[in-house]
Structures are given as C-alpha cells and as structure tokens.
C-alpha cells in the first residue's frame, strides 16, 4: 500500500509583518508560512554567502559554554528515532565546543555517506549573546530564542504544548504538519523514552508502512506541508504535530516557543495527562464514562462555569485562578496522594 498525492501547501503570508497581522494569524490558530520575515538578519546574510561563512559568523560570536550534540550512524538515513526493538534511541549524545561541532559539520558535508549530526534546542542567550542582539524577531521581543544546527536529518512528527515560530537561517527545511485531532492516525510511540520530549509518531514519513499503520492514510489526507528557505519562518499553533526534514548539509534554525495567558502557578498540563492516565485509563468503561462527564463539567466547562450557581464565598477551588487557589489545590492533591 502507498499514499497518493502530496499534502496541501500551507497558507503563506508575505511581509511586512506588524503586531496586528501576527495577532490575526494567531487568532486563526492555523499554521502558516511567514515568507521573508527574517530575511534581513545578519545570520541569514552570512548563510547565503555559503557554509563556511555561516560557520565563521557563529564562531565569531564566541560561544560562552559547551553544547550538547547527538549523532546517528549513516545507516539510519538521517532519522533520529528508535532502535528496531524500541529498547533505546538510535543516536548517541556528547558535549563539546560549538566551534568544534561546526568544523565536524563541514567535514561531514564532504562525505559520501555522512552520519546524522545535530545540536538541538540550545538557549542562544547563554550560548551566543551577541547573536541574540544582532538577530532579533520584533514580533516576539520577550521570548527566548533557541538554535538548532545539523545536517540532513529527519525528526519524527511530534507536538509541543506551546506556540512556535521557527525561523530558517541556513539550508532548506520541509515541515509536514497535522492537526491535533489526528493523534490516533499518527500512532504515537512510548511515553517513557522519547527522542523529543513528548511521544513521537511511529510512522516514517519518508516510507510509511500502511500495513502496520493503516490509519496514517487519513492523517496524510489532513496534512499540510511547506518548504522553508533562509529568511522564512513558520508559525505552528499549540499542539499541532509537525515532522521536520533538513534538506542541506548545513542547516540552522532559530525558534521561539511560548505560551500566553497562563495564570501564575498553574499546574503542568502534561503532568496532569500522566496522572489522568494513572487514575482513569484502567477503569471499567462505564466508570470512565462517568469521569468523562465530570471532566467535561469541571475541567473543560462544556456546560458553563461550574461554580456559577454558587456564591463567591463558597466557590472554593472552583473560584477564579490565582496563586493562592493553585497552592490550595496542590495541598489537597498532596493530602489525597498521602
């Protein structure tokens, strides 16, 4: 079995991009490409002059600390994933100076069958402070940028519990996106061992096995895709699955993750998901139905504010969010857990 056709292209917006334009894009809660949004970055200009140029540009900024890197052998085809038996990841980790990694990256460029190499999600402010000052995204002035550097690598579809703007600095990147409601059709992998923090899709986008993953055909029909060139960016809404392919031997991305409007001291949603699995998943179906109704009422408020009929003095933990309320809830949970 094989897939037919290509995913629909992502919508695109051409600059200039003001705060109101970006607010409208976020309000739509749909992914899109922001063409040329960082085309004026000095780092993009350096990348356009060639691989050696961007290497020298980064090295000249003077990395302030070591970086963590991962590498997979050539036979993995650039895919950071699992070993066949899912007992461990198919790559190794190491640490060293950024300049040494960049030199290794350029040497690997000339190999017929290079290993996959990547520095992933390094905080730029603590690594290359001058880079942050010289290459800023005006739309997100308060968000800390992170840098991703590697060669021709493939990252399995996964989701982030954050909004994301990812800016292409060097090399081309192909993004394939899936709406959050496609989770069942993406066949998520284990929780305990993950390449990227949250569970990843077990489907290989380059060669999907539809006998093992037949529902992926539905996900593919709902997918959207975009190719980013240096200077372009992509907006990925909260919770959207995305697989990323770096298509050139020197590939650099800067991304901005953030969540907005969260009350101070709120609990972690991912932690709550794990606790919900512990508490509900293995109940009999009729009991799960009861708890599904209670969650819809108290958590997702499908019938309105659950304490609307109570006086404010009696609302208790159903009252408006605040650090004292969250502290009280944590204490109740601690007592419940013993």
Q: What's the domain range around 46?
A: 8-258
Same domain, residue pair 22 and 101: yes
For residue 162, tell me if it sits in a domain. yes
For residue 217, tell me if it sits in a domain. yes
For residue 142, tell me if it sits in a domain. yes
Same domain, residue pair 209 and 302: no
Same domain, residue pair 59 and 173: yes
233-236 and 32-35 as β-strands: parallel, antiparallel, unpaired?
antiparallel
Q: What is the pLDDT of residue 17?
A: 85
Same domain, residue pair 225 and 316: no
Q: Which of the pair, 337 or 168, is modelled with greater confidence? A: 168
pLDDT by residue (tens digit) across 47-85? 999 999 999 999 998 888 999 999 999 999 999 999 999
Same domain, residue pair 146 and 273: no
Average pLDDT in the 176-194 region?
A: 97
Boundary (domain end) residue, out of 258, 277, 303: 258
Mean pLDDT rounded to a whole number for the chain? 95
pLDDT by residue (tens digit) across 85-94? 999 999 999 9
Residue 8 has pLDDT above 60, yes or no: yes
**Who contacts 15 (Cβ-Cβ below 8 Å, separation ≥6)?**
34, 35, 36, 37
**CA–CA distance, 105 with 260 (Å, rounded to integer):** 36
Same domain, residue pair 181 and 310: no
Boundary (domain end) residue, out of 258, 293, 315: 258
Same domain, residue pair 121 and 91: yes
Q: What is the pLDDT of residue 2?
A: 65
Residue 68 contacts residue 119 (beta carbons within 8 Å): yes
Q: What is the pLDDT of residue 180?
A: 98
Same domain, residue pair 122 and 184: yes
Same domain, residue pair 278 and 180: no
Q: What is the pLDDT of residue 336?
A: 86
124 cis-preceded (ω within 30 degrees of 0)? no
Q: What is the pLDDT of residue 1?
A: 52
| Look-up of token digits 């857990």 | 337
| Look-up of token digits 């040497």 | 107
Structural domains of the chain, count? 2
CATH for 191: 2.60.120.10
67-72 and 233-236 as β-strands: parallel, antiparallel, unpaired?
unpaired
Same domain, residue pair 150 and 296: no
pTM (2 d.p.): 0.94
For residue 301, tell me if it sits in a domain. yes
pLDDT by residue (tens digit) across 113-161? 999 999 999 999 999 999 999 999 999 999 999 999 999 999 999 999 9
For the chain, how big is the Rg over CA atoms in Å? Answer: 22
Residue 244 has pLDDT above 90, yes or no: yes
Average pLDDT in the 281-307 region?
A: 96
Residue 209 has pLDDT above 90, yes or no: yes
Same domain, residue pair 319 and 275: yes
């Amino acid at each position: 079995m094989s897939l037919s056709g290509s995913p629909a292209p992502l919508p695109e917006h051409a600059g200039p991009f003001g705060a109101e334009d970006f607010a409208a894009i976020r309000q739509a809660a749909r992914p899109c490409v922001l063409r040329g949004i960082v085309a004026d970055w000095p780092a993009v200009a350096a990348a356009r002059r060639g691989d050696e140029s961007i290497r020298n540009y980064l090295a000249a900024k003077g990395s302030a600390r070591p970086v963590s890197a991962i590498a997979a052998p050539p036979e993995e085809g650039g895919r950071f994933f699992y070993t066949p038996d899912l007992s461990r990841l198919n790559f190794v980790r190491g640490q060293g100076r950024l300049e040494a990694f960049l030199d290794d990256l350029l040497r690997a460029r000339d190999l017929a069958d290079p290993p996959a190499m990547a520095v992933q999600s390094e905080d730029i402010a603590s690594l290359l402070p001058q880079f942050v000052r010289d290459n800023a995204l005006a739309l997100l002035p308060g968000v800390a940028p992170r840098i991703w550097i590697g060669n021709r690598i493939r990252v399995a579809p996964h989701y982030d519990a954050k909004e994301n703007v990812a800016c292409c600095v060097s090399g081309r990147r192909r993004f394939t996106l899936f709406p959050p409601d496609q989770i069942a059709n993406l066949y998520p992998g284990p929780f305990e061992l993950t390449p990227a923090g949250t569970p990843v899709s077990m489907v290989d986008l380059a060669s999907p096995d539809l006998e093992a993953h037949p529902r992926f055909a539905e996900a593919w029909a709902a997918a959207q895709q975009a190719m980013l060139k240096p200077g372009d960016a992509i907006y990925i809404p909260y919770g959207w699955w995305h697989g990323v392919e770096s298509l050139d031997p020197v590939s650099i991305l800067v991304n901005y993750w953030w969540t907005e409007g969260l009350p101070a001291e709120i609990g972690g949603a991912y932690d709550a998901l794990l606790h919900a699995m512990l508490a509900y998943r293995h109940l009999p179906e009729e009991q799960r139905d009861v708890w599904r109704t209670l969650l819809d009422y108290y958590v997702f408020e499908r019938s309105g504010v659950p304490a609307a009929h109570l006086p404010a003095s009696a609302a208790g933990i159903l009252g408006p969010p605040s650090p004292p309320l969250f502290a009280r809830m944590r204490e109740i949970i601690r007592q419940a857990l013993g």
